[in-house]
Structure 1
């Protein structure tokens, strides 16, 4: 195989027509650049284990913004120096990788990524998926031993719940992406596993259904929870944003709700205008706020908000006779009633905190109602004239 002086210019211009070729560095014996016909370039190191006499080869990393020639050469020097001292760094790294189980990866994922970087509700959902579906299936397996086929089998086993199966796939993809960064394995076995087809559901309430829901909320003994749903309906906010809101987030004089970035899905501060009804609702609640709890919707534990509304929501929807209607669907109800009343999609998207206009486009067909009403104006005038 050719031995050349590896430079940045050489690496950038290196190419092969078929298969792959390795260009060994003339300046550092055992360090090389592997180039494939596809254009992929990666740095490798090769040495001989002094104890067994076996030749060892390891891929250091793929050439690119995260792995330059200079960085790869420094890493290769470390491996080669270890080999000169009688160690076998490839075997040592493999043994270290094999000692990490999927349960270890799950713990580190939660501690280093989910808890500090995701919303509380999202992190709790990740933990639930891990505890219920992932760890019982592959928790004891070594991280480095998990194959593409293992992930495919786990995903297929959840085919009766495609939405949840796809959430598990996304979670595992992120976990293995981190495992590569942490040096636990060299690839992400989730890549290439196709997701199940998901049918997007957009359920919202008609005027009659909304009236039944409001009546059920009025009749429920837990008015703190009922007010949380009322505020969600009035603002179109995510229920997690409602439940974690604090009195300090609201400026009732200016009629603005400032949602902190760590509470919003898009990780950015949002300023949501409040209707007179929302201001009135919050004003009535402010008179009975708890001195030792900063949250608008205090939970049972001192200083903590309500954690979830599952039992409450089940009883309310049953009382209102609403089937297949989730708490999150209140956002769809809010948006659909605004659009059908003539408000533009960009305005509704801003109120909902959508960063992608296509997300709001799901409500486009509802904007036909005010247009159709406007179109009737000329028709009615011409009809009256012909009758006259």
Structure 2
């Protein structure tokens, strides 16, 4: 969509909307659908068609303050900062209105670990779910990798003979490649998946 607008010459940097900037950032960075959904639910209704240059720091603060929960406001703020920084790099903005906006809430570290009986219940429940959620949940439990990493697993990254899964740098939070040894149970689940 953005390429078509640029090719037609109808969208000058001063006319760009927040949604256009966000879509460009998502397109350029290949961001996961979770962030797209987050923007659709919490940002586009307020700012989707608003011009980038009209959004001020106070608007960012107000939007973030209006979000509920311990984690969501921080995640949305992080996405906003990324979108605005990308817009600055594209010369669509002089500066980011999200600069110097602090996280509204400190997040408590997650330290909860499932007890053995809970693990067994989750395992059984995953078996009832069927494809794709059931195998995904079981591979998640067996590998200990992040949800987004398991959800983004590609056949090209799995070596069934060696029993390994290569997480490419573009698919990890740390932005570096990781070789994950796959336990026999995970390999069995992966082998049974449709290609």
Q: TM-score range by the shorter chain?
A: 0.7 to 0.9
Instruction: Report the structure number with the largest CA radius of gyration.
Output: 1
Please name the residue that 2:29 is paired with. Answer: 114
Counterpart CA distance in 2 for 1:256 and 1:152 is 45
Question: Structure 1 residues 243, 182: closer, same or farther in 2, change over 3 A?
Answer: closer
Question: Structure 1 residues 207, 194: closer, same or farther in 2, change over 3 A?
Answer: same
Please name the residue that 1:240 is paired with. Answer: 148
Question: Structure 1 residues 231, 193: closer, same or farther in 2, change over 3 A?
Answer: same
Question: Structure 1 residues 187, 222: closer, same or farther in 2, change over 3 A?
Answer: same
- My pick for the range that moved more, 207-216 or 128-137, is 207-216
Question: Structure 1 residues 262, 98: closer, same or farther in 2, change over 3 A?
Answer: closer
Counterpart CA distance in 1 for 2:124 and 2:146 is 22
1:177 correspondence with 2:92: no
Residues 351-362 of structure 1 mapped to structure 2, 5 A cutoff = none
Residues 208-357 of structure 1 mapped to structure 2, 5 A cutoff = 208-218=117-127, 220=128, 222=130, 225-279=133-187, 281-282=188-189, 286=191, 288=192, 290=194, 293=195
Deviations 1:88-147 (A, max 9, x none): xxxxxxxx5542222332232233x233xx4xxx2x122212222112112233211221
Counterpart CA distance in 1 for 2:175 and 2:46 is 32
Please name the residue that 1:200 is paired with. Answer: 109
Whether contact under 8 Å (1:259, 1:269) holds in the other structure is yes
Off by >4 Å, runs of 4+ in structure 1: none
Counterpart CA distance in 1 for 2:64 and 2:193 is 46
Deviations 1:189-210 (A, max 9, x none): 1112121222222322111222
Counterpart CA distance in 2 for 1:140 and 1:255 is 48
Equivalent position to 1:144, from 53, 60, 63? 53
Q: Identify, as 1 or 2, the structure richer in strand.
A: 1
Counterpart CA distance in 2 for 1:134 and 1:258 is 34
Whether contact under 8 Å (1:98, 1:145) holds in the other structure is no
Structure 1, unmatched stretches of 5+, are 1-95, 294-388
CA RMSD of aligned residues (A): 2.5
Number of residue-to-residue matches in the alignment: 183
1:276 is displaced (CA, Å) by 3.5
Deviations 1:304-329 (A, max 9, x none): xxxxxxxxxxxxxxxxxxxxxxxxxx
Counterpart CA distance in 2 for 1:289 and 1:246 is 11
Higher RCO structure, 1 or 2 (CA under 8 Å, sep 6+)? 2
Equivalent position to 2:38, from 129, 132, 142? 129
Structure 2, unmatched stretches of 5+, are 1-11
Question: Structure 1 residues 180, 217: closer, same or farther in 2, change over 3 A?
Answer: closer
TM-score by length of 1: 0.42
Residues 3-152 of structure 1 mapped to structure 2, 5 A cutoff = 97-111=13-27, 113-115=28-30, 118=31, 122=32, 124-152=33-61
Question: Structure 1 residues 173, 203: closer, same or farther in 2, change over 3 A?
Answer: same
